[in-house]
Copies of this chain bind each other. A is one copy, B any other.
Amino acid sequence: MDNSRLGGHYLQKYDNELEGVRNRVLAMGGLVEKQIGDALTAFVDADVKLAEAVMQADLTVNGFEVSIDEECSRILARHQPTAGDLRFLIAVIKTITDLERVGDKADKIAKMAIRLAESDRPKNNYSDVYGLGERVLKMLHGALDAFARMDTEAALAVVREDDAVDNEYEAIMRQQMTFMMEDPRNIGRIMNVIWSLRALERVGDHARNMCEYVIYLVKGKDVRHVSMEEMERTATQPR
């Protein structure tokens, strides 16, 4: 099966429509990736203007969600797809929900960046937050890449990375709590850091969800809520 190609129908128009949906999802994904990247930059650079731009662009992310959903409904009603095409459209409907929520996280991090811009900064200038953010951003990129190429191996790699990211998140979180105990005057500031860390960790979860849809899409088998071993079996065996 040629994974990089959708459709293969006599109706050229239908193929074009499916391809159009895929491109729209990738465009939405690219925007959301940029949003998270910009929010992180705004966070460490205390760049209020950039943070405000991120919050503004969330409207565009929301618009993508609504219009892609509509397009999927139209294709479902008009062409009544089955098998792989149907799975593709269902995967898209789910994927854009996750992408929209990643957009919400970018908005949240941007809000926290603004709140923190005026307060004292720790010696490391939030390099721990930035480090976690970079890992999560790589997961998000990997998830979109796996979707674009319908690559289950790439999807698996992202799912594996999510466990490592969760561990790093827990470690940084414990450290933030120590900082609060050491100097309670910092509690207000650190809570904003904690909300940002939490948002980043959730972005990793959304990237993982998207990868589970890719495996479902390619293999026709639902791998949510199964063990890592079972997911690996499903993702690597021929259909």
CB distance from A88 to the nearest CB of B (A): 12
CB-CB contacts of A165-181 with B at 8 A, as 1s and 0s? Answer: 00000000000010011
> Contact at A69–B222, with CB atoms within 8 Å?
yes
- Most chain B beta-carbon contacts within 10 A, residue among A73, A86, A177: A73
Candidates B181, B198, B224; contact of A187 at CB < 8 Å: B181
Do the beta carbons of A73 and B97 come within 8 Å of each other?
no
Measured CA separation A76–B82 after assembly (Å)? 8
As for how many copies of this chain the complex holds, the number is 2
A168 to chain B, nearest CB (A): 18
Chain B residue contacts of A63, Cβ below 8 A: 225
What distance in Å separates the Cβ of A236 from its nearest Cβ neighbour in chain B? Answer: 21
A73 to B191, CA, bound (A): 43
A20 contacts the other chain (CB 8 A): no
| Of B66, B94, B181, B224, the contact of A93 (CB 8 Å cutoff) | B94
Sample of 5 further A-B pairs with CB below 8 A, known A66-B222, A73-B90, A80-B80 = A59-B225, A73-B86, A77-B86, A97-B97, A181-B184
| Pairs across A and B, CB under 8 Å, 9 listed | A62-B224, A65-B225, A66-B225, A69-B90, A73-B86, A177-B187, A180-B180, A181-B184, A184-B187
